[in-house]
């Protein structure tokens, strides 16, 4: 039985789609997991644009009664269900959970990309087993991200933690400690802004396949190892020089604590 994971935020531009795609690619290619990625951004989908895919049957069709298996396509080692860029018929987005239930015995993980709009985000949260709050390290986005956490809590969906994305200049951004204090939950990954992500997007290829040695790809793979319940790869010589001459990064410690169930029942 698969876990349904979603990346959520009530703000656009934080990198939810990128994280959903990269996590799906890493789980499938690095940890040999059977993964289904679903673009559940009903009004403004973009997974198709990231991966340069087209489909005649979409999630919108599945929500109207067409079998979801007809909308599944393969890309980069994982399966994908796209949403329609233009759909005229009215759909019941709250059927998402029911539609996904029929697929849960076929996959290890079902990963949902989401819309930042409340009305479209709610059915994604309801359909999820675990939610990851995605934010950038600025006060405005963090404050907005709290709304997504509140929404998940109201619907009794497990919030597994925070992913800080697009870290650029730590001196002028909220620290990890401040993020955790404001949000009241652990940061499980901290991903630096990386020009290689833009190059990967331009090549319509997940970063972890385009350049697995980039700093962002390494953190994405470490985060995916946590999801797959696998040990993180031992750091190389230069990483040891960087990290082990001082304390381990807090996000790495948080992942180890989460593996041990430390945060269960606290979030």
What domains sit in the chain, N to C, each tagged with a CATH number?
A: 3-259 (3.40.50.300)
Burial class for 147, CB neighbours closer than 10 Å (0-12, 13-18, 19+): middle
d(CA 95, CA 125): 12
d(CA 81, CA 63): 12
DSSP string, 60-76: HHHHTTS-GGGGEEEET
Taking residue 3's Cβ as centre, other Cβ atoms within 10 Å add up to: 14
Stated pTM of the model:
0.92
The pLDDT of residue 237 is 44
Crossing angle of helices 139-154/176-183, nearest 10°?
Answer: 40
Query: Which residue in the block uniquely carries the two structure tokens 């790495």?
Result: 252
Q: pLDDT tens, position by position, for the chain (267 residues)?
A: 789 999 999 988 999 999 999 999 999 999 999 999 999 999 999 999 999 999 899 999 999 999 999 999 999 999 999 999 888 788 999 999 999 999 999 999 999 999 999 899 999 999 999 999 999 999 899 999 888 988 998 888 989 999 999 999 878 899 999 999 989 999 999 999 999 999 999 999 999 999 999 999 999 999 999 999 998 875 554 454 554 445 689 999 999 999 888 777 655
The pLDDT of residue 81 is 98
Of the candidates 137, 171, 151, the one whose C-alpha atom is nearest the C-alpha of residue 10 is 151
Query: Which residue in the block uniquely carries the two structure tokens 């800080």?
Result: 164
């Amino acid at each position: 039985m698969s876990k349904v994971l979603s990346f959520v935020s009530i703000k656009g531009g934080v990198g939810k789609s990128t994280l959903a795609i990269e996590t799906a690619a890493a789980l499938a290619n690095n940890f040999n997991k059977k993964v289904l990625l679903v673009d559940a951004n009903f009004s403004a989908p973009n997974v198709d644009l990231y991966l340069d895919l087209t489909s005649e049957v979409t999630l919108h069709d599945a929500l109207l009664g067409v079998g979801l298996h007809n909308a599944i396509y393969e890309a980069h080692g994982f399966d994908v269900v796209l949403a329609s860029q233009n759909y005229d018929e009215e759909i019941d987005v709250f059927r998402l959970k029911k539609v996904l239930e029929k697929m849960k015995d076929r996959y290890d993980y079902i990963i949902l990309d989401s819309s930042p709009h409340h009305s479209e985000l709610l059915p994604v949260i309801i359909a999820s087993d675990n939610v990851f709050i995605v934010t950038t390290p600025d006060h405005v986005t963090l404050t907005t991200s709290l709304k997504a956490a509140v929404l998940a809590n109201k619907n009794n969906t497990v919030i597994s933690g925070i992913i800080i994305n697009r870290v650029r200049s730590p001196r002028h951004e909220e620290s990890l400690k401040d993020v955790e204090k404001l949000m009241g939950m652990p940061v499980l990954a901290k991903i630096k802004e990386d020009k290689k992500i833009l190059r990967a997007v331009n090549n319509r290829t997940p970063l972890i396949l385009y350049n697995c040695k980039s700093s962002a790809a390494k953190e994405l793979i470490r985060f995916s190892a946590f999801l797959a319940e696998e040990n993180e790869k031992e750091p190389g010589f230069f990483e040891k020089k960087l990290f082990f001459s001082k304390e381990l990064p807090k996000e790495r410690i948080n992942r180890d604590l989460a593996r041990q169930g430390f945060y269960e029942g606290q979030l």
